[in-house]
Amino acid sequence: MDKRIAFFILGGTGDLARRKLYPGIERLVKKGKLGKLVGLYALGREKGKIEEFEERFSKELSVPFKFIEFDVRDRESYRKLIKEFESLQGVELIFYLALPPDLFETAITHLGPTLRNFTNPRKIVVEKPFGFDLESAKRLNFQLKRYFTEEEIYRIDHFLGKLQVQNILSVRFSNYIFEGIWNKNFIDNVQISALETVGLEGRVSYYDRVGALRDMVQNHMLQILSFLAMEPPAVMGAEEIRDEKVKVLESIRRIKVSEVKDFAVRGQYKGYREELGRNSTTETFVALKLYIENFRWEGVPFYLRTGKKLKEKKTQAIIVFKEVPGNFGRLLGCMPQQNKLAFEIAPKNRLVFKFQVMPPSGLLACTVESSMEADMAESIGEPPEAYETLLEDIVSGDQTLFIREDESELAWEIVQPIIESWREQEDLYLYEPGSYGPEEAQKFIEKDGRSWVLV
Ligand code: BG6
């Protein structure tokens, strides 16, 4: 018999719920992948714009969709839930905190006691950013663990629901041709770029408290880095895969607060303060260099950069290989050329390999770059939306693509010195909207004799 489940979406009238969660749940219901969904509860302060979902779920899909007027900070609101729970005996309750991050703790500490007298199986899904720094993340984990077991906690990072991010592991661990050269002997550097053209799109008050480092680097980008750098697990299991990611995070060299300026650059697009209506040192751009101190990666820099209002929307993870010793180009005095393997996550799902070939003028001229490309949509069809994949995993209980407690704290440990240094430092560089970020981000990588690449 299908498992019976009910979703309680806290922040159920908000942007995330409307843009990603309800459409994702709807597609899963249509595909018959959710077991038996006996209730979808939208918890929010005002009903707002959710009528269309109410209509479609209740009428077309026969899923009871209910709006409950709810204030996360108000104890009375939780009493209303008790009434609902009483009618849901034996049903798995899935609580999704689609809330501003400063409300997570309040929600958890109220929800926990509210559930006390119920024996229903339960899960809690927590959105990112998971905390504001290491200390608050630890506190959040502590509160979660008071009421839920780790198996019931789903710390979500929607990048892990992206097919091309998962594909990093398939490509790495299923192809001799790549795995054999996936190390410091052959790789010069690794670059992860998450460039966005959008600005803040009405999220100014959230974003100004958070900034690019917490919004993108602590989670999405470190997750991509872990997939690129981890060792293959001995067993295909959620714990084993996450154990390997944890080892990567543990091996990342900790930057000292006093060295941050050599390892990180922050920028803000011109016009941000006007948009905000006040002064602010929140970064809308970050470039960062990290080293992983283990046998595989010793000495190989991992460069990360992300920003808003940049020239193009592009998310790519690129392996830049070393220059071939004694290569033809070098013998002919040409510019050195390096092979590149790129996982493009946006705008398309592509795997691109860039390599050198003979130019039309023949063997004794500088080689030119050519490329081989695999379009994932062509090989496996259009991937599902990231949230759809993750919602399905939550329901089925697969935690592989969710952040474990230790992982969440280690990722904060890595960015913590940067947070601390930026609290004190003045060096925030302004950049033109539509550019690739501040000049200093270029100089930052050029001083290592390298440049940013995209394919
Ligand atoms: C979110 C960030 O987690 O990821 C946003 O909060 C960012 O600021 C978004 O725009 C990028 O995700 P995607 O899937 O659009 O590349």
Mean pLDDT of all residues in 260-277: 96
Decide if 222 contacts 292 (C-beta within 8 A): no
Residue % of the chain over a pLDDT of 70: 100
User: Which of 163, 215, 313 for a ligand 1 pocket mutation test, highest count of atoms within 8 Å of Cβ?
Assistant: 215
- pLDDT above 70 (res 248): yes
What's residue 206's pLDDT? 87
Q: Which of 220, 242, 289, 314 is catalytic?
A: 220
Q: Which atom of ligand 1 is nearest to the CA of 198?
A: 10
Q: Which one has a higher pLDDT value, 25 or 330?
A: 25
Domain boundaries, the chain: 4-127, 160-446
Residue 198 CA, ligand 1 centroid: distance in Å? 10
Quote the ligand 1 centre to 158 CA distance (angstroms): 8
Quick check: CB of 315 below 6 Å from ligand 1? yes
* Least trusted range by pLDDT, from 249-258, 300-309, 318-327: 318-327
CA of 196 to the centre of ligand 1 (A): 9
Residue pLDDT, tens place only, 233-242: 999 899 999 9
Ligand 1 touching residue 365 (CB < 6 A): no
Q: What mean pLDDT comes out for the span 35-60? A: 92
Looking at residue 435, what DSSP letter applies?
Answer: B
Instruction: Catalogue the E-assigned strands of 376-435.
Output: 429-431
- 38 closest CA partner among 96, 85, 108: 85
Residues 6+ apart with CB under 8 A from 121: 92, 93
User: Does the CB atom of residue 223 touch ligand 1 within 6 A?
Assistant: no
Identical fold for domains 4-127 and 160-446, yes or no, is no
Region of poorest pLDDT, from 53-67, 310-324, 327-341 = 327-341
Task: Say if ligand 1 is within 6 A of residue 344 CB.
Answer: no
Q: What is the pLDDT of residue 79?
A: 96
Instruction: Say whether 110 is catalytic.
Output: no
pLDDT of residue 1: 63
What is the model's pLDDT at position 365? 87
92-146 pLDDT, tens digit each? 999 999 999 999 999 999 999 999 999 999 999 999 999 999 999 999 999 999 9
User: Is pLDDT at 223 greater than 90 in this prediction?
Assistant: yes
Tell me 300's DSSP state: -
- Least confident range from 59-63, 295-299, 379-383: namely 379-383
Ligand 1 atom closest to Cα of residue 194: 16
Q: What is the CATH number of domain 160-446?
A: 3.30.360.10
What is the average per-residue pLDDT within 376-391?
91
Q: What angle do CA 124, 125, 126 make, to 5 degrees?
A: 120
User: Is CATH 3.40.1010.10 the classification given to domain 4-127?
Assistant: no
Buried b (16+ CB within 10 A) or exposed e, 341-370: bbbbbbeebbbbbbebeeeeeeeeeebeee
If we measure between CA atoms, which residue out of 318, 342, 343 comes closest to residue 445?
318
Is residue 179 predicted with pLDDT exceeding 90? no
For 62, left (φ over 0), alpha (ψ -120 to 50), or beta? left
Distance 16 CA to ligand 1 centre (A): 11
Tell me: the pLDDT tens digits for 82-95?
999 999 999 999 99
Judge if the beta carbon of residue 215 lies within 6 A of ligand 1: yes
Task: Spell out a b/e string for 145-177, using b for 16 or more CB atoms within 10 Å of the CB, else e.
Answer: eebbeeebbbbbbbbbbbbbbbbbbebbeeeee
pLDDT at 425 over 90: no
Q: What is the mean pLDDT of residues 45-64?
A: 91
Task: Kindly state if the Cβ of 367 falls inside 6 Å of ligand 1.
Answer: no
Ligand 1 centre to CA of 185 (Å) is 34
pLDDT (tens digit, 9 = 90+) per residue, 270-301?
999 999 999 999 999 999 999 999 999 999 99
pLDDT reported for residue 205:
84
- 438/430 Cα distance (integer angstroms): 6
In 295-367, which ranges are E strands? 301-307, 314-321, 340-346, 350-357
Closest protein CA for atom 5 of ligand 1: 215
- Residue 58 half-sphere exposure, CB side, CA atoms within 13 Å? 12
Res 335: pLDDT = 79
Instruction: Please state the length of the chain.
Output: 455
How far does residue 204's CA lie from ligand 1's centre (Å)? 14
